[in-house]
Amino acid sequence: QLGIDERIKLLKINKTNGIPPIKICLAIMNHAMFNGKRLFRLENPSKNDPGLAILSGLSKLPTDTVAHDFLDSILIIDSDKFW
């Protein structure tokens, strides 16, 4: 266990568009690890690949808006506790 769920709880984020924070965070991390470039580009072919979504516990990857809303909801004071 990496303890990522405990760390994400430190961010004090509620569900974003009905998606639990752990799943959005995993989707963002998986996308970054396996694609390495910019976050959630519409022209990226892996956006439609169900593999990354399944690794994150989702049926499909969250939209760009959901990902950005999630990241925008993190307060600096809470993000300091994350590290």
Minimal CA–CA distance to 63: which of 29, 19, 7? 19
How do residues 27-67 score in pLDDT, each as one tens digit? 888 877 776 655 555 445 455 667 888 888 888 888 888 88
Report percent pLDDT > 90 for the chain.
Answer: 0
Minimal CA–CA distance to 25: which of 5, 48, 3, 42? 5
pLDDT of residue 36: 62
